[in-house]
């Protein structure tokens, strides 16, 4: 029973440096808050299924931005696979930003390796970094009412 419970809400985390500034991060977060991003199974191989990336409102500070993040199966009905928070902290002297994700996943990883959850978190950060660094080309999603 405890093994099943740990899979239902397994903690995951990762961090990396991104070559961007907080202005770019802020613009990306504003776009994503109102237009979720569709991710294919190949985008996050550790999860092995398509999802939608959604972000919540931002909390900003002088050199940092914090927001919530969800990966959901269906943008209209939910089915949350990963939930947590993204933290962006600007380096005081360079033009890089440290991005950190801390959260939990209900998705069963494709492999039973202990590092599978961390792999999913790292893959998520790589996707976030790539999305921030390139212009948005995805059309907005129409929400079903």
36 part of a folded domain: yes
7 part of a folded domain: no
Residue 95 is predicted with a pLDDT of 84
Range 69-77 average pLDDT:
81
Residue 7: pLDDT above 50? no
58 part of a folded domain: yes
Count of the separate structural domains present in the chain: 1
CATH number (domain holding residue 83): 3.30.530.20
Residue 84 is predicted with a pLDDT of 95
74 part of a folded domain: yes
Residue 47 is predicted with a pLDDT of 82
The rounded mean pLDDT for the chain is: 81
Give the number of other Cβ atoms within 10 Å of residue 69's Cβ.
Answer: 20
What residues contact residue 61 under an 8 Å CB cut-off, 6+ apart?
A: none
72 part of a folded domain: yes
Q: How large is the angle between the packed helices 22-34 and 116-133, nearest 10 degrees?
A: 100
Whole-structure pTM value? 0.78
User: What domain range includes position 35?
Assistant: 12-133
3-state secondary structure string across 66-111 = EEEEEEEEECCCEEEEEEEEEEEEECCCCCCEEEEEEEEECCCCCC
> How far is 129 from 124, CA to CA, in rounded Å?
9
140 part of a folded domain: no
Range 32-59 average pLDDT:
88
Range 113-127 average pLDDT:
78
Residue 49 is predicted with a pLDDT of 84
53 part of a folded domain: yes
Range 85-98 average pLDDT:
92
30 part of a folded domain: yes
Residue 108: pLDDT above 70? no
């Amino acid at each position: 029973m405890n093994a099943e419970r740990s899979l239902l809400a397994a903690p995951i985390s990762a961090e990396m440096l991104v070559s961007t500034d907080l202005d770019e991060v802020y613009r990306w977060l504003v776009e994503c808050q109102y237009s979720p991003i569709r991710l294919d199974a190949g985008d996050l191989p550790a999860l092995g299924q398509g999802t939608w990336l959604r972000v919540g409102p931002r909390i900003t500070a002088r050199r940092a931005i914090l927001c919530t993040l969800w990966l959901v199966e269906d943008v209209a009905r939910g089915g949350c696979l990963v939930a947590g928070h993204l933290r962006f902290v600007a380096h005081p002297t360079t033009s890089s930003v440290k991005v950190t994700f801390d959260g939990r996943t209900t998705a069963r990883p494709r492999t039973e390796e202990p590092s599978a959850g961390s792999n999913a978190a790292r893959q998520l950060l790589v996707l976030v970094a790539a999305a921030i660094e390139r212009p948005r080309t995805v059309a907005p999603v129409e929400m079903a009412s």
